[in-house]
Amino acid sequence: MYKIGKAALTIMLALMIAVVAACSSNNNGGASNSESPAAGNAGAGDAKAEDYTFGEDQTFHSNEPVTYSMMYSDHENYPTKEDWRLWSAIKEKTNVEFDLSITARTEYENQKSLLVNSGDAPYIIPKTYDESAFVASGQIVPVSDWVQYMPNYMKAVKDWGMEEDLKAKMKNDGKYYVLPGMWEIAGGGYSYIIRKDVFEAAGVDVEGQQGNWTYEEFAEAMKKVKEHTGAQYVFSDQFKGDSALNITAVQYGVTGGWGLSNGLVFDHEKQQFTFADASDDFKNYLGYFNKLITDGIMDPESFTQEDDAARAKFFKGDTFVISGIYQVLADFKSKMQDPNAELYMITQPGGPKGKLRVETSRLENGIMISQNALDDLGEEGFIKMLRFVDWLWYSNEGQTLSLWGVEGETYDKDAEGSIVLKSDIYYNGINEGASKQLNVDFGFAGGVFAYGGSAELRMSKMTEGEKDFVNRVQSTREPRKLAPPIMGTPEESEQMNLISTPLMDYVKTMTLKFITGQESFDKWDEYKAQVEANGSTRYTDMANEIFGKTKSLLGY
């Protein structure tokens, strides 16, 4: 969904072949509500009709060299290099270069806050996960007022049906302030990596059964492994249990772990929020994990140990299940002490609420645009920059360049048109042992540029095993509806934060106590009373009041 400002049509340019476009702004700096100019042509309001080319599925190219300032998150695993092929490839295509403000990944958020709040932010601010803190500053452009000038972005929104997804980025003024990376399909997400060889030796038909497993059935399979191996524990987790708690919560209709958030779930039939983390569903959810602990299946240290400790147990063969994402599978395989170990990523089990997909949003981190860009470049130059952003981050050509590099140099295409990475280059489990790396040596496939794209592009970066995992998720798990955002004013959001912080800290603390047996379920009523005393009802009521005021903006 996108917001468009009030329009004033420009006068048709005399003697030009009839190209009608709109680009004059309203008094607030918003853009016109007219259609974008025809592909390949600069529209009325651009500095020169022939100054640059752009358009849906066309290469952006500026006739004159252009430099745009941009923040850059420097990843320690592939530190930036001035001679990366990435930079020259972008310039060759577009005649655009970057004036980079390079910041270490670990300091990126702090530096972003400093630059934005001081009014010194570069024009383009990528790798933004949460833009909320910057909206009130007035230093970030409400980019939804301008997306009509981005033909590739608009094509993705229309063709992939992204309107519902984009509602999650909307603020209470009906606008959004970040251009998110968009995927045509959701990914497979986090699940459980198991020792397939051990499960099968214990009599479990992994490939035949795992697609139908509920969590209770997964627990029974792990019990068979415990009986077969005599291991102290079958499952010792990393991430302090946050991944397992998150993906299991989905199937129980509650929140937990990485997805704990504010404890609210949205009832689409009743069109209202409810506080899930003191419900009977939540009690059953905690009871599932508690039974894993009491049955000696799950290591209680899962919720306190460092990741390296959990991995060491798995690599050594002391345990046979660990949470993870598919991209780590090849690395894990190389570290297993048993050379015959066979690792397998199971489809996330189902639960009382069904067999649901854990991953719902197809949005990635995104790009904020600084108000400095509009102030310095003027409307015409600003639209030109947006069209460059549109090509690099949202066209298939730009996305393919950012991910795979230059055809004939870093990759080729086979007879079916599929991308084949050059054999001497490694990326994401492809070409293990190759002498070069796509991100380290060339700058492609980095987190600042390479996110979002078609289903074909998403699958192109997967090994055959990961494709199989994603296909299993897509074919055997039901999509979930997205919950609407709570679009409070800054004052309302602050009030809700004052409630939710201590409330959810208490829920998180008691979650681990119930699971590990430090607190008896006999005290469940006392827990519910304390959750209420900490403001769960007040918080839920505020969320529903805000939703009631803003639901028309969201299309409810």
Helix (H, G, I), strand (E, B) or coil at 472: helix
pLDDT of residue 356: 96
73 close to 105: Cβ distance less than 8 angstroms: yes
Provide the Cα torsion 543, 546, 547, 548; round to 10°.
Answer: 120
Write out residues in the chain with pLDDT < 70, as ranges: 1-50
Structure tokens at 156: 């993705």
Cβ-based neighbour number of residue 196 at 10 Å? 19
- Cα angle 158, 161, 166 (rounded to 5 degrees) comes to 95
pLDDT of residue 295: 98
Per-residue confidence (pLDDT) for residue 39, from 0 to 100: 36
Token pair for 108: 């990126």
User: DSSP E strands: which ranges in 150-214?
Assistant: 179-182, 191-195
Per-residue model confidence (pLDDT) at position 133 = 87
- What angle do helix axes 536-554 and 524-533 make, rounded to 10 degrees? 60
**What tens digit of pLDDT does each residue of 373-399 get?**
999 999 999 999 999 999 999 999 999
CB-based contacts of 193, cutoff 8 Å, min separation 6: 314, 321, 322, 323, 324, 328, 329, 332, 343, 344, 345
Residue 495 near residue 283, CB atoms below 8 Å: no
pTM of the model: 0.81
Q: What pLDDT score does 4 carry?
A: 33
Predicted pLDDT of residue 330 = 85
Q: What is the pLDDT, as a whole number, of residue 50? A: 62
